[in-house]
Amino acid sequence: MGLRFLIPTFILILAFPLLIHAKTLKRDVKALNEIKASLGWRVVYAWIGDDPCGDGDLPPWSGVTCSTQGDYRVVTELEVYAVSIVGPFPTAVTNLLDLTRLDLHNNKLTGPIPPQIGRLKRLKILNLRWNKLQDVIPPEIGELKSLTHLYLSFNNFKGEIPKELANLPELRYLYLHENRLIGRIPAELGTLQKLQHLDVGNNHLVGTIRELIRIEGCFPALRNIYLNNNYFTGGIPSQLANLTNLEILYLSYNKMSGVIPSELARIPRLTHLYLDHNQFSGRIPDAFYKHPFLKEMYIEGNSFRSGVNPVGLHKVLELSDADFLV
């Protein structure tokens, strides 16, 4: 009788250590506390205790996601956005080596992104849009081989787009619009086999589409390309029709010229074509007006011949914040 009750008790004693919370890696505890010390009260008031992953009685810090790896817990996601963080990019973030998601968008971060960002080898999503970040985009971002989403829009980045971004084999979404970028778009970006969305609108970029697509078989997965509000010149090469997955081609407010090639109407999934406010001339090939999926074609502000008509009911293209959510 006594033995029957001893066995379950013994098993319970052995199992009890499994119920104890794994400790948070000291490296991550130190890094988050350094970040906590540098942030404003809007974040700090919600970060209670010393352990960002929680310590039993206290929950994990708001915006911090942890997971267990072996005997320790590590920080895998840090999402602290729209809380008016002021000051330089918190370099201690680059010590969170297990981060897969870093979202600091819609704050007031200033200064450069530190080159140490290249340490975050597991990072898949980097969202720093809607800040006041400056200087060049660090080429070290090209070391983040797992990156799928890169959001750097609505900042004050200057200099050229680093060709090292072409070293990101998993990259699907690249948002660089509304900065002060100059120079040409690196043609090497065309080698990104999974890139679906490229937005470099509202910068000071130059060059031609022909230069951008000069690599054979480039941009195989590209669906949307935004080149609007820059200083691109030249015409639309017929080879652009090789981008057979293209849905949105946004060329508005550049200095492009020439005629519109009929081959462009062969892009099977094309839904939106923005040609307005350039120096295009000639006629729009009839094939565009017979395209089964083309919903919008903007043509105003060019030198087309009389009789050329737009397609669709024109409204201002507005990208809501929801379009940027992952």
More confident residue, 233 or 86: 233
- CATH number for the region 76-315 comes to 3.80.10.10
Worst-scoring range by mean pLDDT, 56-60, 90-94, 149-153? 56-60
Is 160 exposed, middle or buried (CB count within 10 Å of its CB: 0-12, 13-18, 19+)? middle
Structure tokens at 119: 């340490």
DSSP label at residue 248:
E
Structure tokens at 279: 């120096």
What is the 3 state secondary structure string of 183-220?
ECCCHHHHHCCCCCEEECCCCEEEECHHHHCCCCCCCC
Read off the pLDDT of residues 86-139 as tens digits, 9 standing for 90 and up. 899 999 999 999 999 999 999 999 999 999 999 999 999 999 999 999 999 999
Q: What is the pLDDT of residue 215?
A: 96
Question: How confident is the prediction for the chain on average, in pLDDT?
Answer: 90
Gap between the Cα atoms of 228 and 249, Å rounded: 9
Structure tokens at 73: 């817990």
Q: In what order do the strands lie in the sheet with 132-133?
A: 86-88, 108-111, 132-133
Gap between the Cα atoms of 320 and 144, Å rounded: 28
Task: Calculate mean pLDDT across residues 146-157.
Answer: 98
Strand (E) or helix (H) holding 102: strand 101-103
Which residue from 33, 51, 53 is spatially nearest to 43, judged by alpha carbons?
33
Task: Calculate mean pLDDT across residues 54-72.
Answer: 92
Provide DSSP, 33-76.
Answer: HHHHHHS-HHHHTT--SS-TT--SSSPPPTTEEEEEETTEEEEE
